[in-house]
Amino acid sequence: MNEVAQISEFGKILIFLITGIILLCLIFFLNRLLAPNNPTAEKLTSYECGEEPTGNAWLPFNSRFYVIALVFLLFDVEMVFIFPWATVFGNHEIIAADPRWGWFALIEMFVFLGILIMGLVYVWRKGDLDWIKPKPTIPTTNSRVPAALYDKINIQQNAFKIKEFALESVTTDMAAPVAAATPDAPPVRKPMFKPTFKKPANDA
């Protein structure tokens, strides 16, 4: 009589996750307990491959780095999909029950890899993986407005000249109306008290 398993496959996965979390928390606790805590200015600086960091860490990165990250992510996810296929293809019990499962899994995985490789070749041939494109494409539009009209507008805008800022003329022009507008203004009153400062007494 076959014994019934007391724990299912999902229960094993749950025990594995709980054990991993407990071990991770234990390692962090031991690290905090045993590791010396002596922060210095040099330790708190950002690590740049062993070189002295210069400037601010918040810098704009080139957008081409994101293309490399997306390609890496694509093939990283591909490996996640290959793992279940490998388990089915390498299971002798499934293949012994029905040999068609092995061939079906093999063909399906080749189709999946072929689609990804075709996409990679397409992007490669298009030049999107190059760091600097050798032949930049000039954008075109189907606008009905002739290019001569844009040139005419640019010439008209360049014809207008902005006056240069002169501080002396502005101050003199603004001071004259103020003086003329207030001829009967009362004189500025002087303060009623005069501050006095005590001189230090000479020791001699």
pLDDT digits (tens, 9 = 90+) for 123-141: 888 877 877 766 766 777 7
Helix/strand/coil for 161: coil
Q: Which two tokens stand for residue 174?
A: 């603004």
Instruction: Output the CA angle 10-11-16, nearest 5 degrees.
Output: 95
Q: Which two tokens stand for residue 190?
A: 């002087």
- pLDDT of amino acid 14: 92
Phi, psi dihedral angles at 176 (to 5 degrees): -65, -50
CA separation for the pair 149, 158 (Å, rounded) = 14
Distances (CA, A) of 85 to 57, 82, 91, 99, 105: 43, 5, 10, 15, 6
Q: State pTM to two decimals.
A: 0.37
Contact 82, 109 (CB under 8 A): yes
Beta-carbon contacts of 127 under 8 Å, excluding residues fewer than 6 positions away, are 133, 134, 135
Q: Residue 51 has what DSSP assignment?
A: B
Alpha helices (runs of H) in the chain, residue ranges in sequence order: 9-34, 64-89, 92-97, 100-126, 147-159, 167-181
What confidence tier does 78 reach under pLDDT thresholds 50, 70, 90? confident
- pLDDT of amino acid 168: 58
Residue range 175-190: mean pLDDT, rounded: 54
Which residues in 14-152 belong to E strands, given as ranges? none
Q: Which two tokens stand for residue 94?
A: 């499934």
Q: Which two tokens stand for residue 77?
A: 């996810």
Contact 85, 105 (CB under 8 A): yes
What confidence tier does 15 reach under pLDDT thresholds 50, 70, 90? very high
- pLDDT of amino acid 26: 96
Q: Which two tokens stand for residue 185?
A: 């203004």
Phi, psi dihedral angles at 49 (to 5 degrees): 60, 35
Q: Which range (6-15, 83-92, 103-112) has the least confidence? A: 83-92
For the chain, percent of residues with pLDDT exceeding 70: 71
C-alpha dihedral over 103, 109, 111, 112, to 10 degrees? 160
Instruction: Output the CA angle 159-164-167, nearest 5 degrees.
Output: 165
Burial of residue 71 (CB within 10 Å: 0-12, 13-18, 19+) is middle
**CATH classification of 9-126, choosing from 2.60.120, 1.20.140, 1.10.357, 1.20.58?**
1.20.58
